[in-house]
Amino acid sequence: MKKSVLMIILITSVLFTSTIVAGLDLPNEIRLGFQHILDIKEIHTEPSEMIPGNSGNLSVEVYNGGDIPTKDIRVKLNLPNEISFTNDVSEKKILEIKSGQSTTFKFNIIALPKTSEGVYKASLTVTYLNKIGEEREDNYSIGIVVKSSPKVFAQVEKTDIYDENRIGDTTITFTNDNIANIKLMTAELKESSDYEIISENRKYIGDLDSGDFQSATFRIKVNKELKKIVLPVKIEYKDSLNQDYSEELQIPLNIRTANELGISSNNYWWILVLIIVIILGVYSYKKDFFRKGKHNRL
């Protein structure tokens, strides 16, 4: 009886051991099911484009696609030199993610103030224990966009037009009023019932780095007796990542009087000089005339 029980136990042990060994000797493509349980469901930054000198956060959503909980999950973010952590650490941990659920790991980051606009490569490492107790490490590459929106400020720098002179050149200055760089900018003066464009209406401005400015001159003829007109100027350009921008600026042009511009006072000055010259000429002429008359009488 004892021998029969021992034999049954021995046979059962052999079969159980064979099953375990067979399981461990599964082909790689089958064993992957025991390893790749966690997936990156979503990665995003807030804001979507990091502004140099401003902070934000990077979120990583990790999803457990396996049929049992995953243990000891660690997510490590490796940033490029141009981006740093702010009041945060580079690695986050969680004890467990249950089957069919996800967890979001959030990192507080900042683009350094002198960072040039562009896309910067970062790396992500996710380690965890799979369903057979093995430690698994997955590596990913991600891109972080550093960019701000361009901003253009435009105003009339100078003009030849005033109340008594309705035709002349008007120079408009365009200034890059933000930290974003601008490329291939053009400016087009649009038609209006208030004026007639005499020169070419489209000018090439070129590239404008942060804080730079360039000017464009248009020659126009004002049609009406107006004290103020608006110059609608359409500008087109690209940012550092070659995204296209187009906007129409409304630039005011005040039409001043000659007196306000100091032109009348200059005319009076020349008139005064001319009067003095005439008086001196008449005086010199009379002096010579009387001198000649006196000489003839002698």
Q: What's the pLDDT score for residue 34?
A: 47
| pLDDT level of residue 63 (50, 70, 90 thresholds) | very high
Q: What is the mean pLDDT of residues 123-148?
A: 93
Q: Domains of the chain (ranges plus CATH)?
A: 35-146 (2.60.40.10), 152-260 (2.60.40.10)
Give, for 287, the enclosing helix (H) or strand (E): helix 263-297
Q: Is the pLDDT of residue 62 over 70?
A: yes
pLDDT band at 184 (very low <50, low <70, confident <90, very high): very high
pLDDT on residue 275: 82
CB 140 within 8 A of CB 40: yes
**The pLDDT of residue 278:** 82
User: Phi and psi dihedrals of 132, rounded to 5?
Assistant: -105, 15
Helix and strand element counts for the chain (H, E): 4, 16
Single pTM value for the model: 0.69
Average pLDDT over residues 218-232: 92
For residue 187, pLDDT over 90 is answered with yes
Q: Measuring CA to CA, which residue among 135, 120, 128 is closest to residue 58?
A: 120
